[in-house]
Amino acid sequence: MKPVKIGLLGLGTVGGGTATVLQRNAEEISRRAGRGIIVDFAATLEIERAEELGLEGLRLTENAFDVVNDPDIDIVVELIGGYSPAKELVLQAIANGKHVVTANKALIALHGNEIFAKAQEKGVMVTFEAAVAGGIPIIKALREGLSANKINWIAGIINGTGNFILTEMREKGRAFDDVLAEAQALGYAEKDPTFDVEGIDAAHKLSILSSLAFGIPLQFEKTYTEGISTITPEDVEYADELGYTIKHLGIARRTEQGIEQRVHPTLIPKTRLIANVNGVMNAVLIMGDAVGPTLYYGAGAGDEPTASAVVADIIDIVRVMTSDPNNRVPHLAFQPDQLADIPVLPLEAIQTAYYLRVCVLDEPGVLAEITTILGKSNISVEAFIQKQPKVGETKVDIILLTQRVNEGDMNKALAQIEALTVTCSHVVKIRVETLK
């Protein structure tokens, strides 16, 4: 059989990794796929660098539309990232009847519903394993390996940069800004680190996981997103004292009222396996009703780990590209006409436990005032720490861990606590999950 021809859009870190893996493992890949796979055409703005890769017979262009419009190309691999022109290129490739592989989480999270509908109409596949947690085959696990289960919840460390920063803060007592500067110097974080540290990158990935887990359309805009830039070394230390580690988690949970879809710093018990996922590594914990908890761990970024996911997608497509389009694994795990209209809940409606750090004047009766407000709000305190004030200081931090409560009720109680004359600043609130 004729080899399948790949058109690569982008020959940067992941594009270069993809070409290298396809070439290095060509024999093994063709034994798996049943056909040879060759990178035939690539679009890059760095033609000279691309030539240095030494890919035999590879045609190069600076115009990515040349690749998507080339009649010889069977599968377009989009690795340029961002919204535009990635979206236009992918839609054009689909319109031309080509299958698409993409690593672009932002594109799938925001425009996936439209892209999959168009792909369905044309009978082509759009695969995106590399879009979530890099090399970890998490899309495959959710869409296929766990398809017998009703998924109850997912909790993932799905941004390596944020995990590196929190790991350094915990292990070395360093401040957020200091570690961020190092992460940028090491090339983990972008020059503009907003997407990583403010949770947008994780929210893109979480909205994809949530859709696959619960059979709902992609709804990135409804994902609550809070970053890690306000986490202080004190909070990391207090959490540790209470037996917890702070991780930046993406959490998607099915409840009777709807779906919780949220990214925020989270205290989790130090004893959980996922609490020990450190540095730039990613991990996703999935709770299925039949299988129970399953944990997936690996590299969330990097040239060859991401290429591992991209090439696996290419092989999947090659294996079934001649099959009936109506009998393929659905893009979003559930049949397109079976996507459910379950609401994604607003933040006030979620339920979780809380770590609260309240700065108060060191006076008699202060603690009673705070616990009275919590008691009247039906919020039960699970653990408590108060340090002695430093010499000459009139203020002191008290730390409370609460039981699970509705976020809206917690916010009302906090407004009352912040209005007390004895509290000296905004209460620090970090959500707590036991992941049981």
Instruction: Name the residues that contact ligand HSE, by CB under 6 A.
Output: 159-161, 196, 201, 300-301
Give 108's contacts (C-beta < 8 A, 6+ positions apart).
Answer: 102, 115, 128, 131, 204, 208, 218
Of the residues 105, 140, 205, 222, which is catalytic? 205
Q: Closer CB to ligand HSE, residue 215 or residue 302?
A: 302
Taking the complex as a whole, how short is the minimal distance between the CB of residue 230 and ligand HSE, in angstroms?
19
Q: Which of residues 106 and 339 has its CB atom nearest to ligand HSE in the complex?
A: 106
Residues 21, 130: contact at Cβ < 8 Å? no
Does the active-site annotation cover 205?
Answer: yes
Residue 392 has which token pair? 């000459």
Residue 161 Cβ vs ligand HSE, minimum distance, rounded to whole Å: 3
* Pair 86, 80: CB distance under 8 Å: yes
In the bound complex, what is the minimum distance in angstroms from residue 302's beta carbon to ligand HSE? 9
By beta-carbon proximity to ligand HSE, the closer residue of 201 and 313 is 201
Length of the chain: 436
- Rounded Cα–Cα distance for residues 259 and 24 (Å): 43
Q: Kindly tell me which of 301 and 370 has the beta carbon lying closer to ligand HSE.
A: 301
- In angstroms, the CA 422 to CA 399 distance is 15
What is the smallest separation between the CB atom of 381 and ligand HSE, expressed in angstroms? 35
**221-256 CB burial, b ≥16 within 10 A, e <16:** ebbbbbbbbebeeebbebbeebebbbbbbbbbbbee
DSSP H helical ranges for 321-382: 366-376
Residues with Cβ within 8 Å of residue 354, at least 6 apart in sequence: 400, 401, 402, 405, 410, 429, 430, 431, 432
Q: Is 20 exposed, middle or buried (0-12, 13-18, 19+ CB in 10 A)?
A: middle
Closer of 21 and 432 to ligand HSE (Cβ): 21
Q: What is the largest CA-CA distance in the chain?
A: 84
List, by residue number, the catalytic residues: 205
